[in-house]
């Protein structure tokens, strides 16, 4: 399948988990992919090696998008290697949970600076160097935007992502750039294991309530991202697409 042949994709936070799966899937469908990472160099290079071994094109590019100054150089590096960008996947993000009484300015800014401000500046930099034919921006949100107990700050960042998606779809439509939010439910990733979600009562609750009866895998997000990246989604913009097996959280 080569639905993305000739396209250049930048996937932020792509060294592991959902981002890595998306990078591999876009490359498998023909895109040249920039695998962004902040600290996991070895993991990012492993993703690039996997893509190249399968006959694809990829590079790893370091940039910590919590720093607004990092976005411009990141995009410049991608364009210098592959040419104008046609797909941006804003996947870089972090989550921390805790009850109301534990919230601190550091807890707030750590999440908002990456999940929201980082997304905005990455998008701002990428749009300046987007393909003149247009393309697709995919913001990785979360069903947690609806609100999760003990996750008010994280939920707020993902609610902001939904709002930004709608706003930018209207703003960038004249440039033929589609903007959608892809909102996963619980996905089995390295981060979910590290946070203690896998095998927890929280996972059991989600699986009991989910129509499809389980949590998801990164690849199940990647295939939807590939559709949104492709020209097959040419009439889809400004949408929040839940990919959660029907689970609300």
Give catalytic status of residue 234 as yes or no: no
Helices 17-28 & 218-229 angle (0-180, nearest 10)? 50
Rounded CA gap, 92 and 161, in Å? 12
- Which helix (DSSP H) or strand (DSSP E) does residue 204 occupy? helix 201-209
Catalytic residue among 37, 95, 154, 234: 154
The SS3 call for residue 117 is: helix
In three state form, how does the secondary structure of 160-184 look?
HHHHHHHHHHHHHHHHCEEEEEEEE
Rounded CA gap, 141 and 155, in Å? 10
Residue 38 backbone phi and psi in degrees, to 5 = -105, -45
Location of structure tokens 């996905």: 187
Location of structure tokens 């006959």: 55
In angstroms and rounded to an integer, the radius of gyration of the C-alpha atoms of the chain is 17
Q: Catalogue the active-site residues.
A: 154
């Amino acid at each position: 399948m080569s639905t993305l042949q000739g396209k250049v994709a930048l996937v932020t936070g792509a060294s592991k988990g959902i981002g890595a799966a998306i990078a591999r899937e876009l490359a498998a469908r023909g895109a040249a992919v920039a695998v962004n990472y902040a600290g996991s160099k070895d993991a990012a290079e492993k993703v690039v090696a996997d893509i190249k071994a399968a006959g694809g094109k990829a590079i790893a590019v370091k940039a910590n998008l919590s720093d607004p100054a990092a976005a411009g150089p990141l995009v410049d590096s991608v364009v210098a290697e592959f040419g104008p960008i046609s797909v941006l996947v804003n996947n870089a993000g972090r989550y921390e949970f805790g009850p109301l009484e534990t919230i601190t300015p550091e807890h707030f800014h750590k999440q908002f600076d990456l999940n929201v401000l980082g997304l905005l500046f990455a998008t701002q930099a990428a749009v300046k160097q987007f393909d003149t034919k247009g393309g697709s921006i995919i913001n990785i949100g979360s069903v947690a935007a609806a609100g999760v107990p003990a996750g008010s700050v994280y939920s707020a960042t993902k609610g902001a992502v939904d709002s930004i998606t709608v706003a930018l779809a209207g703003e960038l439509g004249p440039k033929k750039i589609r903007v959608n939010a892809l909102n996963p439910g619980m996905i089995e990733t390295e981060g979910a294991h590290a946070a203690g979600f896998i095998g927890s009562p929280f996972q059991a609750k989600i699986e009991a309530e989910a129509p499809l009866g389980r949590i998801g895998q990164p690849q199940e997000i990647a295939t939807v991202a590939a559709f949104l990246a492709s020209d097959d989604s040419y009439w889809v913009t400004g949408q929040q697409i839940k990919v959660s097996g029907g689970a609300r959280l």
